[in-house]
Amino acid sequence: MTGEVRLTGGANPGFARGRRLRSTPAMRRWTAQTRLAPADFVLPVFVKEGISDAVPISSMPGVVQHTLDSLRKAAHEAAEAGISGLMLFGIPAEKDPVGSQADAADGIVNVALQQLRADLGDELVLMADLCLCEYTDHGHCGVVTPAGVVDNDPTLDRYAAVAIAQAQAGAHVIAPSGMMDGQVAAIRAGLDSAAFTETPILAYAAKYASGFYGPFREAAEGAPQFGDRSTYQMDPPNTGEALREVAQDLAEGADAVMVKPAGPYLDIVARVVDAVDVPVSAYQVSGEYAMIEAAAANGWIDRQRAVLESLTAIRRAGAGSVLTYWAVEAARWLR
């Protein structure tokens, strides 16, 4: 027919084309639509006060609670592997109801930040997780009332103080994870008042009340001593709520946002990426890590293949960076 253009691939194009483009490893690399690189990864690390040697975490094989010295060594290895940054969590020797060690100048995370910044300068992005659960004797993410309820507004005052202390210690990025209402606005105001106007905020904006955090609570020694966090973290069945939380954090001044967990919430990652024009991170949490490690240890899966596939899936959903306990190992596989 005159003027008609038809695109064909042979007598039966649909049957063979996919196979032709998957026929060799080189062909598959050529046609890959999602690629992993060391710079995609951020390594979460735990540093504990009062220990003389790194302490293995039983539920997370290969992950440890660091001493200050072992953390410095691990940070150098991370930089050499080419990953983007570290997310620091601290376990103090002393805990109290308001988490006073979180913003103490000699608090474990703040000392670690000072040392890492002196060692590495700007070679890695040093991210400071901002929450109180590791620092409070009750294990909740904020100040609690006598009735045992997390008190939002006094908690915001604590968060602002902690953010200033972390920035003073050398954090490049402040990452609030407590899921308090108004936390980003309070932290932004605190940082600006202390002349840290250029310090960005990576908000844990869509953080779910997940069953995948169990190993982390061993690692960070921050399990709630009563109740749970379902009233301030997000309910797993909900999607629209995540988009509202993200929008609120951006309106309050967040520079980037995070979805946590990553693997079970790839739909949320994709929805958030489609909705915003800022960097989106996703946190491959301790339970995701532990499941793959356990299955691999039993010989049920190919460990390296499963790890890289899980990371690729998170990037395929749209996350610009992935927080993962495999960051350094995966980076080395990719180089």
Annotated catalytic residues are 207, 260
Buried b (16+ CB within 10 A) or exposed e, 31-66: eeeeebebebbbbbbbbbbebeebbebebbeebbbb
Distance, CA of 249 to CA of 278 (rounded, Å) = 12
Distance, CA of 212 to CA of 190 (rounded, Å) = 32
Decide: 267 and 196 in contact? Cβ < 8 Å. no
Decide: 202 and 174 in contact? Cβ < 8 Å. yes
Q: Would you state the structure tokens that stand for residue 76, as one six-digit string? A: 């150098």
Distance, CA of 161 to CA of 101 (rounded, Å) = 11
Strands (E), the chain: 41-48, 55-56, 64-66, 85-91, 125-130, 173-176, 202-207, 256-260, 280-283, 321-323
**Which of 255, 265, 263 lies closest to 234 in space, CA to CA?**
265
Q: Would you state the structure tokens that stand for residue 196, as one six-digit string? A: 């840290």
Burial of 306 (0-12, 13-18, 19+ CB in 10 A): middle
Decide: 296 and 31 in contact? Cβ < 8 Å. no
